[in-house]
Structure 1
Amino acid sequence: MKILYGVQGTGNGHLTRARAMQKALLAQGIEVDWVFSGRPREEYFGMEVFGDYQCFQGLSFSIKAGQVDPIKTVSQASFTKLLKDVQALKPEQYDLVISDFEPVVAWAAKVKKVSCIGLGHQYAFLHDIPKTKNAFASYAIMKWFAPVSEAIGVHWHHFNQPILPPIIEQQSFSTINDPSSKVALVYLPFESTTEVIKTLNKLPFRFIVHARDIDCGFYGNVHVKGFSVTGFKDSLQACDSVICNAGFELASECIHLGKRLLVKPLAGQVEQLSNAEALKTLGWGDVTDHIDAKSICYFLTTAKATQVRYPDVPKLLASWIKQYPRVELRDIVEMAWSEVDINSQLESTSSPKGVMEWGR
């Protein structure tokens, strides 16, 4: 079996999902041609696992000072280049086409009338899940951005919808959390690291910051590190708390590992605002609109964690893909949620328990 798999490369979360899927697909003997878009090729890292992948400009959001810049987003979009890239792909030559919110592969399949499976967090928003209010136009754009013929969404909880748990590479982490660790990991790639450090220096805590806009080294109580797949995983394993934007994948790993979580959603980014709503609904993380000393201090002195042990979703999906379309998606959805284990260290009555209850 040979598949074409497109991945939105604007954020590192999609790449983390792709690495987990590549390992699982390889174990099933499935050959994959990978396509990435959303950032220049030289800005990717840790890509060896994907072999001879293709890289396109695609479409992406422009971020300025921690929020989406809609004018720059539109002005930088090259629809002529997108059309050219779409025409260059040959999705009809594959047994299956998959898009993780990647527009070039999704549109190539649509234009050439080839079925395309959408696999990723964004497709969960097609269902009745917690969402930010008054953003109907944005949800319509999400449908248009990378259209697919069959959508498989993933989220932290099922919300009684036919979606899957997060795609996490199980072998990457020990799920034993060290409560004695008193260091917080800070990952805010859309903020000015210099300004973030000024805020962190006001606090009596230790921090690890991963960033690319400042030299690595020690800045008072802040240890700045660069970007690498293994280096970031080591930092995540070593910390007891994480402060980050409200992207999906890192928050998923934090919940899986039982880390205390404080998120600051990007202003104007519907997915992140909705993720923040979901975290508040579940009671599995704290949310702030601003990165300031008061918010961080309150979080680090009061927050507790909830650990949710998720099953090996990549393995389940790879097995399903190999048998597609002979096995119903519903079968692996029910199987996946039956294996979820919630260990509520945060004694929150709002944390949903149990397995998928269809029809409720």
Structure 2
Amino acid sequence: MKFLFVVQGEGRGHFTQAITLEEMLLRNGHEVVEVLVGKSSSRTLPGFFNRTIKAPVKRFISPNFLPTQANKRACLKKSLAYNMLRVPEYLRSMHYINQRIKDTGAEVVINFYELLTGLTYLLFRPSVPYICIGHQYLFLHKDFEFPRKSPAQLSMLRFFTRLTSMGAAKRLALSFVEMEDDSESRVIVVPPLLRREVTSLQPEQENYIHGYMVNSGFSDSVHEFHHLHPRVPLHFFWDKSGADEVTEIDENLHFHQIDDVKFLNYMSACKAYASTAGFESICEAMYLGKPVLMVPAHIEQDCNAYDAQRAGAGVVADGFDIETLLRFSEDEYKPNTTFLYWARSSERLIINELETLTEIESSVFTLPNFTKYLSI
């Protein structure tokens, strides 16, 4: 089959998932004809993605979350106002996505949590079936356990997740643990998409802390820890616009521009890992037996962190409290060996779901069914 990918352009996880799925599809005799990536003024396309993905890559303007003044957590009010002003641009992007689906001859569309894909299927109703994939679709599962956070924010998160998957034939929910499928919500639980570069690594343990921050404002708390504990080596990755490939503060504090090969090499040999609670890198740390400190940057990552903590990955904090991570790694952490077997079954289970794709019901977007579809 011929597949077209649509990828949300925020963070590292969706990019590595797209790379991994493309590799799986190629190994199983399929083709990825094109990759469409959402872009915004605040994000750059990581170099590792352009170097690794095989299919042609095209960009389109897409909604994104804006950070608070401190550039840490997302500011929902500011993000909503910013994106409402750009609705005409997003309509043009949806027209572009619809046209690329037609022009590429794609037989299946894979959506990596990009909002405009769901809205394209709502407004333009392409005839090509599509599948959504991401950890976020677990939020629609009837048995998913949420953290004790604002009910309004959790409702908005679920609503947003439904919008990204309007009309999807299947929602493949990447999960830390095995769960039963939720057929009523079209949620099929599958293992995480870990790249072969991860599964082929031989983990070691050196004395440094490895980390990743989706918003550079979190660097303040890293600096604070470093000021108090200057002898603890720290290697943090970010995608800060205009930053050097490596920003060396001193011999024990380095900030690296995100590069996937370099990132994984540092992950494989670190003592522990600190992150802004992105699903993909938590899975990589779990696979390599590294304890994790999770610092959520928005409500979605609050859910990621809570779910990962229940799976034994690590601890959750409001800032990069590395002292807590060190105590956890030395006193409490035990690698989750069950996760290794679950993760290793991903190719077999995911390819099977893609190859047994059922057609989208043609009646999904009739007006009487619209509200019903949003509720499942």
TM range (shorter): 0.7 to 0.9
1:54 paired residue number: 58
Offset, 1:194: 4.9
1:346 paired residue number: none
Identity in percent? 20
User: 1:262 and 1:305, CA in 2 relative to 1: closer, same or farther beyond 3 A?
Assistant: farther
Q: Distance in 1 between matches of 2:331 and 2:192?
A: 27
2:155 paired residue number: 136
Residue of 127, 140, 153 corresponding to 1:126 = 140
User: 1:117 and 1:191, CA in 2 relative to 1: closer, same or farther beyond 3 A?
Assistant: same
2:225 paired residue number: 199
1:244 paired residue number: 275
Residue of 304, 319, 344 corresponding to 1:290 = 319
Offset, 1:121: 1.1
Q: Distance in 1 between matches of 2:108 and 2:176?
A: 27
2:372 paired residue number: none
CA-to-aligned-CA distance 1:230-259 (integer Å, 9 cap, x gap) = 111111112121001111100011111111
Q: Matched residue of 2:333: which SS?
A: coil
Letter in 1 for 2:192: P
Q: Tell me whether 1:87 sits opposite 2:120 in the alignment.
A: no
Offset, 1:278: 1.3
Residue of 258, 268, 277 corresponding to 2:306 = 277
Asked if the contact 1:86–1:105 (Cα under 8 Å) also holds between the matched residues in 2, the reply is yes
User: 1:103 and 1:258, CA in 2 relative to 1: closer, same or farther beyond 3 A?
Assistant: same
TM-score, with length taken from structure 1: 0.81
CA-to-aligned-CA distance 1:181-220 (integer Å, 9 cap, x gap) = 2221021231432552232232242221123445422524
Q: Tell me whether 1:63 sits opposite 2:67 in the alignment.
A: yes
1:155 paired residue number: 175
2:210 paired residue number: 185
2:364 paired residue number: none
Residue of 194, 203, 209 corresponding to 2:236 = 209
Letter in 2 for 1:188: M
Q: Distance in 2 between matches of 1:297 and 1:172?
A: 23
1:116 paired residue number: 130
Asked if the contact 2:4–2:109 (Cα under 8 Å) also holds between the matched residues in 1, the reply is yes
Q: Distance in 2 between matches of 1:272 and 1:202?
A: 28
Asked if the contact 2:190–2:349 (Cα under 8 Å) also holds between the matched residues in 1, the reply is no
Asked if the contact 2:294–2:317 (Cα under 8 Å) also holds between the matched residues in 1, the reply is yes
Q: Which has the higher helix share?
A: 2
Offset, 1:44: 3.0
Q: Matched residue of 1:209: which SS?
A: strand
Q: Matched residue of 2:344: which SS?
A: coil
Q: Distance in 1 between matches of 2:121 and 2:29?
A: 23
Q: Matched residue of 1:66: which SS?
A: coil
Offset, 1:58: 1.2
Offset, 1:153: 0.7
- Gaps of at least 5 residues in structure 1 are 327-360
CA-to-aligned-CA distance 1:307-357 (integer Å, 9 cap, x gap) = 42121414542354245349xxxxxxxxxxxxxxxxxxxxxxxxxxxxxxx
Q: Matched residue of 1:43: which SS?
A: coil
Q: Distance in 2 between matches of 1:205 and 1:107?
A: 47
Question: 162-171 vs 211-220, which deviates more?
Answer: 211-220
TM-score, with length taken from structure 2: 0.78
Q: Tell me whether 1:104 sits opposite 2:108 in the alignment.
A: no
Q: Matched residue of 1:181: which SS?
A: coil
Letter in 2 for 1:84: R
2:263 paired residue number: 232
- Gaps of at least 5 residues in structure 2 are 182-187, 360-376
Q: Distance in 2 between matches of 1:190 and 1:299?
A: 24
Asked if the contact 1:169–1:312 (Cα under 8 Å) also holds between the matched residues in 2, the reply is no
CA-to-aligned-CA distance 1:77-111 (integer Å, 9 cap, x gap) = 12211111111223354211221111233322333
1:313 paired residue number: 346
1:44 paired residue number: 46
The CA RMSD measured in Å over matched residues stands at: 2.4
Q: Distance in 1 between matches of 2:193 and 2:347?
A: 6
Q: Matched residue of 1:172: which SS?
A: helix
1:23 paired residue number: 23
User: 1:270 and 1:38, CA in 2 relative to 1: closer, same or farther beyond 3 A?
Assistant: farther
Offset, 1:296: 4.3
Q: How does 1:311-350 map to 2 (within 5 A)?
A: 311-314=344-347, 316-325=349-358
Offset, 1:45: 1.8
Aligned residue pair count: 323
User: 1:318 and 1:287, CA in 2 relative to 1: closer, same or farther beyond 3 A?
Assistant: same
User: 1:252 and 1:159, CA in 2 relative to 1: closer, same or farther beyond 3 A?
Assistant: same
Q: Distance in 1 between matches of 2:213 and 2:63?
A: 22
User: 1:186 and 1:201, CA in 2 relative to 1: closer, same or farther beyond 3 A?
Assistant: farther
Q: Matched residue of 1:163: which SS?
A: strand
